[in-house]
Amino acid sequence: MRVLVTGGAGFIGSHFCRVLRRAHPDARIVVLDALTYAGNLRNLEDFEGDGNFAFHPGKIQDRTVVEGLIRCESITHIVDFAAESHNDRSIQNSAEFIETNVLGVYTLLEATRRFRIEKYVHVSTDEVYGSIEAGDFTEESPLEPNTPYSASKAGGDLLVRAYWKAFAVPAVITRGGNTYGPYQYPEKLIPFFATRLLNGKKVPIYGDGTQVREWIHAEDHANGVLEVLEKGQAGEVYNIGDENERQNRQIVEILLEETGRTWDLVKSIPDPRRNAHDRRYSMSAAKLRNLGWRPEKTFEEEIRRTVRWYAERRDWWEPIVRSEDYQSFVRAYYGPSLGEDL
């Protein structure tokens, strides 16, 4: 097995590389990553000295790079984690999301078709389904995205479906829930709050904080993707979720407790996305469980372990929060609400 992992220097992608190596010690792992703000070579430090691992910088929408790698590395499988993936950033600049999440997927699908790749796994998100008031989304639920980010991911999903139908390209889709764990770029809720609270800074919560999300640990998510790579049927979609719902307020309570902070550091702010902020996500992962996959991480334990990881790994995240990209993002979205406490 010779696997091209796109976006492998990112959060979930790097966890997948470690999971894949443990499951397949002899596999050739080739990472292609554009190293945008969320890509970090330090996420792949475990592979130093691994002769069956290679990293290449580049974008998935660059046909020359993609096809060149497939040729020179004799790639047999592709697992695509590469994506622009933050809702708020997609409001600020939608074009980058379309280029990576739609055009990039097209480029990989064309390469899969032309080079007869054995399987292409497209890693997507539960956000393509939109919001659900009660019950659970299944793989047959309609796609109703509500932000440019989720719309771009839905566009990639539909391209995958079309290539399976039109060309019998051996492609499969996974849709994961909200993912947490070590190595997550500190702009998402858990690492954003954890790093700020560790520094004694205020954190913003949209409205009353009763939005509901379904959380899954990055390693469980990665193991789900591996299960699909090994056993998933071409043309199918598999939800990867822990059926573990929490209100955002409940998450904040744990983060405050674990960092020794109090609610006076939490400020309620209006949602800049207005009607685009999905109220509740919930999926059934029964289809993937039928393949034999089960999440192994306990949320209450692992979220606290994650906070402790950030407390111990300031060397990893402090350079990020000092970067101009990160600072400008925080100023653009939270500056007016948090005032000088940035």
pLDDT in tens, 286-328: 999 999 999 999 999 999 999 999 999 999 999 999 999 888 8
Q: Are residues 176 and 257 in the same domain?
A: no
Q: Which of 79-93, 151-165, 195-209 has the highest mean pLDDT?
A: 151-165
Single out the catalytic residue among 106, 149, 185, 281.
149
Q: Are residues 222 and 330 in the same domain?
A: no
334 is catalytic: no
Whether pLDDT at 95 is above 90:
no
- Alpha-carbon dihedral angle through residues 89, 95, 101, 105, given to the nearest 10 degrees: -160
Global pTM value:
0.94
Single out the catalytic residue among 33, 80, 84, 127.
127
Q: Are residues 224 and 236 in the same domain?
A: yes
Half-sphere exposure of 173 (CA within 13 A, CB side): 25
Does residue 282 lie in a domain region? no
Q: Are residues 110 and 148 in the same domain?
A: yes
Does residue 87 lie in a domain region? yes
126 is catalytic: yes
Does residue 81 lie in a domain region? yes
Instruction: Select from 122, 121, 129, 61 the least CA-distant residue to 95.
Output: 61
Single out the catalytic residue among 33, 80, 126, 245.
126
Q: Are residues 199 and 150 in the same domain?
A: no
pLDDT in tens, 104-137: 999 999 999 999 999 999 999 999 999 888 889 9
Domains contained in the chain, number: 2
Instruction: Select from 70, 79, 65, 74 the least CA-distant residue to 15.
Output: 79
206 is catalytic: no
Q: Are residues 141 and 263 in the same domain?
A: no
Which residues constitute the domain of residue 319?
Answer: 189-213+245-271+300-334
Distance CA 113, CA 116 (A): 5
Does residue 21 lie in a domain region? yes
